[in-house]
Chain A
Amino acid sequence: MFKEKHFAFLDESSKKEIRRAVLKAVAIPGYQVPFASRELPIARGWGTGGLQITLSLIGEDDIVKVIDQGSDESVNAVSLRNLIQETTNVRSTIRTQEATLIQTRHRIPETPLKEGQILILQVPLPEPLRNVEPSEYKTKKLHGEGDYSGAWLKMFEDIMRYGQTATGADHPVCVDGRYVMAPSPIPRFDNPKLDNSPALLLFGAGREKKIYAVPPYTQVVSLAFDDYPFRRERFAGEKCRLTGLSDVYLDELTDETTGEIYYQINDSSYLLEHLNRETEMQTE
């Protein structure tokens, strides 16, 4: 009745199916490929889409990195990484440049990705048109017909109401001039990193049962009107308290003793590397 753990958890025919969905997704950039999402030992909404892709692709030689909200050490990242390691015994790393598979929630690493790497993004809501059309059957048709006026209309309405578009994270993008795609809730700061990326970008939505992809060197454009250009989050004059860097995504933190607000690099492994390099330089 009780068996030893299977390599990478899922049974092999399930993995094969998921890989087939991934291949289809790569072949049609930005198109949401439906797949029969499997239940995993972690909860729906906690990264099961990304994890199913990771588990289906991972081999013994892979080096895996898992991040959640920019951190390798946050509780959920640790939990996912433990599951991957317990069922595969592959090496893990926090160094972006060393990893072959990077599973991430809501961030793209600050260290530029390179060819041969695969970035797997966890997606809660894969449908960029869902807030204008609740029905899956209808949004599927809209994609087929290339009718994205709903997504544009939402931004137009924001401008009417607030004087600018009001999207926070998950600002929709157009992939390869064809499909409008939800980039997962990455901050707008990360949107430009999707464009012409040397690494393969895969997106997995476990609960919504969709897989989609941006193949390497594909054009990805954030939706914006001509006279209201796309804007990343602005950290006007703010700098990381520890490194002094400014062109990175910053967390806003409060100093417990002074009550002062300060800023710190969100990407924890990038921050560590930077600090270590500085220490090395000082000791030299």
Chain B
Amino acid sequence: MTQWEKPVLTLKNFNKTFGNGCSFCKDKPENLKGGCCPKCRTIYACRDVSLCVYCGEVVGIVGESGSGKSTLMQALYFDSEPTDGEYYLDAYKNGERNIFADSRRQQKWVRNMLLGMVYQNPVMGLKMHFSAQSNIAEKMIAAGNRDVHSMVARGNDLLERVSIPPARRKDNPCNFSGGMQQRVQIAKALANEPPVLLLDEITTGLDLSVQADVLELIQKIQRANRNSILLVSHDLSVIRMLADRTVVMRNGQIIEEGLTDQILEDPQHPYTQQLVYSLL
């Protein structure tokens, strides 16, 4: 029960802006139009976003494109720098150190050791012209492993779990189907057994049957390992299938959050209502 009391991931007052802001928009959110300043065109991609993920929990973030959910994921995986905010992981320095304020080198360590990421676009997450085996080894190499045999063994184990046949494991992902590429990305994300997985629109752009395969795989892995997952999707059916708890984002802000069932059964915010009813 104590595990449940302390979140594995905590984000506090996260902000991300593109542009410098002007006197018209700074600290005057009421002047913004759709998260953007009409005068200086500064984009407020995320505003005061706070959330946490508890151990073994799957949290879904839902919202239309431009709502700031991908910006959020990029900052959590250190692909882009935050404007301000605090970011804690329980597994990192006892959850007492704001990782956003740490050195780039430390952030890379966190990224390699404590996080696993699956991008919507596999080009972002995989080196397309390196073999599937090497792609998985990359994470282990970054974590300091210098033993080829152990990395190959671990790679085989992971590729087995995501059903990449042995004959294809030395092939380059650029020759794989979209679904296979996503499965390699998942295997890569799991390479160092990170406590937290970040999944960014992982089924968007895949065929329906392939989508179902990938989601089932995630579900299977999550049940087996009790991973904590933060998952972003614009698709409520993905959220319904995987997420315990759901956060709704719009124009860079969280407008509603709660248990997934509760959000889907009884949406409060008009925007959420619109989302839910359009699904039905």
Chain A residues engaging chain B, CB cutoff 8 angstroms: 141, 144-147, 149, 152-153, 156-157, 159-161, 225-228
CB within 8 Å for A153 and B146 given contacts A160-B131, A160-B133, A161-B131: no
Determine the interface band of chain B, counting residues with CB < 8 A from chain A.
Answer: 10 to 19
CB within 8 Å for A149 and B130 given contacts A156-B148, A225-B148, A226-B147: no
Q: How far is B151's CA from A157's CA once the two chains are assembled, in angstroms?
A: 12
Interface flag for B26 (CB, 8 Å): no
Query: C-beta contact mask, B121-149 vs A, less than 8 Å → 1, else 0?
Result: 00000010011011001100110001111
CB within 8 Å for A149 and B151 given contacts A160-B134, A161-B131: no
Q: Could you name 19 residue pairs across A and B whose Cβ atoms are closer than 8 Å?
A: A144-B104, A145-B105, A145-B108, A147-B108, A149-B141, A152-B146, A153-B130, A153-B138, A156-B137, A159-B148, A160-B133, A160-B134, A225-B147, A225-B148, A226-B146, A226-B147, A226-B148, A227-B148, A228-B148
Interface of A (DSSP majority class)? helix
Interface flag for B170 (CB, 8 Å): yes
Tell me whether B108 and A153 are in contact (CB under 8 A): no
Q: Which of B104, B141, B152 contacts A153 (CB 8 A)?
A: B141
Instruction: Report the minimal beta-carbon distance from A64 to chain B, rounded to whole angstroms.
Output: 41
Most B C-beta atoms less than 10 A away, residue of A141, A146, A227: A227
Instruction: Report the minimal beta-carbon distance from B230 to chain A, rounded to whole angstroms.
Output: 24
Tell me whether A149 and B142 are in contact (CB under 8 A): yes
Q: Which B residue sits closest to A147, measured CB to CB?
A: B108
Instruction: Report the minimal beta-carbon distance from B139 to chain A, rounded to whole angstroms.
Output: 8
Q: Which residues of B contact A156 (CB under 8 A)?
A: 134, 137, 141, 148, 151
Instruction: Report the minimal beta-carbon distance from A113 to chain B, rounded to whole angstroms.
Output: 30
Q: How far is B70's CA from A156's CA once the two chains are assembled, in angstroms?
A: 32
Tell me whether A152 and B104 are in contact (CB under 8 A): no
Q: Which residues of A contact B147 (CB under 8 A)?
A: 225-227
Q: Which residues of B contact A225 (CB under 8 A)?
A: 146-148
Chain B residues engaging chain A, CB cutoff 8 angstroms: 104-105, 108, 127, 130-131, 133-134, 137-138, 141-142, 146-149, 151-152, 170
CB within 8 Å for A153 and B148 given contacts A147-B108, A160-B133, A161-B170: no
| Given A227-B149, A228-B148, 13 extra CB contacts under 8 A | A145-B104, A145-B108, A147-B105, A147-B142, A149-B138, A152-B146, A156-B137, A156-B151, A157-B131, A160-B133, A160-B152, A161-B170, A226-B146
Q: Which residues of A contact B142 (CB under 8 A)?
A: 147, 149
Nearest 4 interchain pairs by C-beta: A149-B142, A157-B134, A152-B141, A149-B141
Q: How far is B172's CA from A157's CA once the two chains are assembled, in angstroms?
A: 10
Q: Which residues of B contact A159 (CB under 8 A)?
A: 148
Tell me whether A153 and B105 are in contact (CB under 8 A): no
Tell me whether B105 and A157 are in contact (CB under 8 A): no
Q: Which residues of A contact B133 (CB under 8 A)?
A: 160
Q: Which of A141, A144, A157 contacts B130 (CB 8 A)?
A: A157
CB within 8 Å for A146 and B146 given contacts A157-B130, A160-B170: no
Q: Which residues of A contact B134 (CB under 8 A)?
A: 153, 156-157, 160
Q: How far is B142's CA from A227's CA once the two chains are assembled, in angstroms?
A: 17
Q: Which residues of A contact B141 (CB under 8 A)?
A: 149, 152-153, 156
Q: Which residues of B contact A160 (CB under 8 A)?
A: 131, 133-134, 152, 170
Q: How far is B141's CA from A226's CA once the two chains are assembled, in angstroms?
A: 12
Instruction: Report the minimal beta-carbon distance from A183 to chain B, rounded to whole angstroms.
Output: 20
Q: Which residues of B contact A149 (CB under 8 A)?
A: 138, 141-142
Q: Which residues of A contact B131 (CB under 8 A)?
A: 157, 160-161
Q: How far is B103's CA from A147's CA once the two chains are assembled, in angstroms?
A: 13
Instruction: Report the minimal beta-carbon distance from B170 to chain A, rounded to whole angstroms.
Output: 5
Tell me whether B127 and A153 are in contact (CB under 8 A): yes
Q: Which A residue sits closest to B142, measured CB to CB?
A: A149
Most A C-beta atoms less than 10 A away, residue of B138, B141, B149: B141
Most A C-beta atoms less than 10 A away, residue of B147, B148, B152: B148
Q: How far is B197's CA from A267's CA once the two chains are assembled, in angstroms?
A: 56
Q: Which residues of A contact B138 (CB under 8 A)?
A: 149, 153
Q: Which residues of A contact B104 (CB under 8 A)?
A: 141, 144-145
Q: How far is B152's CA from A160's CA once the two chains are assembled, in angstroms?
A: 9
Q: How far is B105's CA from A141's CA once the two chains are assembled, in angstroms?
A: 10
Q: How far is B147's CA from A225's CA once the two chains are assembled, in angstroms?
A: 6
